[in-house]
Amino acid sequence: MKKNKFYTQEEKEVQLVQETTAFYGTSVGFTSIDDRSVFAIIDSINKGISFTAFENIIKKYSFTLQNWAEFLHISNKTLSRYQKESKTFDALQSERIMQIEILHSKGEEVFGSRENFSTWLETENLALGNIIPRDLLKNSFGINLLMDELVRIEHGVLA
Domain locations along the chain: 12-17+34-154
pTM (2 decimals)? Answer: 0.79
Q: 24 falls in which pLDDT band (50, 70, 90)?
A: very low
Cα atoms in the Cβ-side hemisphere of radius 13 Å centred on 74? 19
Indicate whether 66 pLDDT > 90.
yes
Residue 28 pLDDT: 34
Strand intervals (E) in 11-109 = none
Q: What are phi and psi for residue 62, nearest 5 degrees?
A: -85, 5
Residue 15 pLDDT: 65
The partner residues of 50 in beta bridges, in order of sequence, read 88
d(CA 112, CA 49): 28
